[in-house]
Amino acid sequence: MEFDDGCRDELDRLEDAQLRRELVSLAGEGGRVRVRGEHGQDWLSFSSNDYLGMAQHPEVIASAQRALADHGVGSGASRLVTGTHPAHMALEEAIAAFKGLEASLAFATGYAAANGFASAFLDRNSIVLLDKLCHASLIDACRMVGAKLRVFWHNDLDKLRALLEWARAQSPKGRVVIMTESIFSMDGDGAPLAEIVALKEEFGALLFIDEAHAVGVLGPQGKGLASEFGLASRVDIHMGTLSKAIGVAGGYLAGSRPMIDVLINRARSFIYSTAPPPALAEAARVALEVVTGSEGEARRARLRSNMTRLANGLSVALPPAAILPWIVGEETKAIRGARVLREAGFFVPAIRYPTVARGAARLRFTVSAEHREEEIDSLTQAVVSYREPHGLAERSRS
């Protein structure tokens, strides 16, 4: 009783601050980029991270169905307990080959991969220097192990250098890790990887890069931003997810063989969690094959052309990947914008605190290779006709 009253008070506080979140229940997929609301609404979705449309890919679906029929659904236990299914080994070999690295380890989610890294390699004596806009999975992982966390302003290399100097004064030989994303999840911009790599080498720090929104989208064969800059071999720990452009589910860490072997021994989210269904590993492996091949190339080209069309239509700078945020400021404005767009037939999320800073609420448009040109154009029209009379000019993005 008292507990529930407390819960209701908490929800009222969130409501008052325009920060209450609710699940929008869908009746189902409408195929491609459409979703159906439970009351029969038909929305064109600009909210998914399935950037290449792989979640609906017939080959990927068929591979999962075959694997389900052959191996069943659940995997039964942790891979250290019940043995490792060949589908997981094959996926990890495919990820390592894809990234051009020695080895990889797959996790149930990207969130679990970040957690696994921290539990294996960080403790109270470690210093982690983290970009201000990094994803919650990275922050939570570092906090969980009590690492000394220092945040630098988004992409601020002077501040990063100052923190590296501070870290080396504190701990001349200790473990210092720089953590950043290659493409930032809520802002859609990229990290200055060449400069960060130079800094990490100058100070003997480790570099951890979360490529969640770059894998499949950027770089040769969709290998990510580090590969695009030719820097992959100089990044110590590569993290990515199989749930976004790869269209399936799961996360991974990739790097050297010894690093992966330590993870197998020390990553708590790997050791103490049941292995994902082999069918998901199989689907992810097949999706990766498509994404790295000529079809993936064609999908990336369509995505690029859709992104360019949307950015031009909205008269904003072209973002490097597939995320276009429209920062409107106040939480109420983002909620109102999302509602207006939903009434016009578009599903676009209002992103608010604590996912982004207070007062930096935004509509976050994500584009897919599966959007048609006329769909991009109809969204553009809806946004422009809402934006102009409301004077909601785009705030500077930085």
Ligand X SMILES: *Cc1c(COP(=O)(O)O)cnc(C)c1O
Beta bridge partners of 255: 103
Task: Identify whether 390 is a catalytic site residue.
Answer: no
111 contributes a contact to ligand X by CB under 6 A: yes
Name which of 320 and 333 has its Cβ closer to ligand X.
Answer: 320
Q: What angle do CA 38, 284, 66 make, to 5 degrees?
A: 85
Q: Taking contact as CB under 6 A, which single stretch among the options 109-117, 120-128, 286-294, 332-340 is the one that binds ligand X?
A: 109-117
User: What is the spatial distance between Cα 21 and Cα 328, in angstroms, rounded to a whole number?
Assistant: 18
Among 45, 47, 75, 109, binds ligand X (CB under 6 A): 109
Name which of 57 and 213 has its Cβ closer to ligand X.
Answer: 213
Name which of 216 and 251 has its Cβ closer to ligand X.
Answer: 251
Size of the site for ligand X (CB under 6 A): 13
State in Å, rounded, how far the first CA of the chain is from the last one: 46
Q: Are strands 237-241 and 206-210 parallel, antiparallel or unpaired?
A: parallel
Q: 395: which DSSP letter?
A: P
- Residue labelled with tokens 């935004």: 362
Catalytic residue among 185, 227, 243, 306: 185
Among 110, 222, 255, 320, binds ligand X (CB under 6 A): 110
- Cβ atoms < 10 Å from Cβ of 145: 18
251 contributes a contact to ligand X by CB under 6 A: yes
238 contributes a contact to ligand X by CB under 6 A: no
135 contributes a contact to ligand X by CB under 6 A: yes
Catalytic residue among 50, 92, 131, 181: 181
For the bound state, the minimum distance from the C-beta of residue 18 to ligand X, rounded and expressed in Å, comes to: 23
* The two structure tokens encoding residue 35: 């979703």
* The two structure tokens encoding residue 267: 């990553």
For the bound state, the minimum distance from the C-beta of residue 15 to ligand X, rounded and expressed in Å, comes to: 27
Task: Identify whether 88 is a catalytic site residue.
Answer: no
- Residue labelled with tokens 């696994």: 116
Beta bridge partners of 239: 210, 253
243 contributes a contact to ligand X by CB under 6 A: yes
210 contributes a contact to ligand X by CB under 6 A: yes
When CB distances to ligand X are compared, the closest residue is 110
User: What is the spatial distance between Cα 243 and Cα 111, in angstroms, rounded to a whole number?
Assistant: 11
The answer to whether the beta carbons of residues 107 and 301 sit under 8 Å apart is no
Task: Identify whether 181 is a catalytic site residue.
Answer: yes
Task: Identify whether 244 is a catalytic site residue.
Answer: yes
User: What is the spatial distance between Cα 213 and Cα 156, in angstroms, rounded to a whole number?
Assistant: 20
Residues that bind ligand X (CB under 6 A): 109-111, 135, 137, 181, 185, 210, 212-213, 241, 243, 251
Active site residues: 49, 135, 181, 185, 210, 213, 244
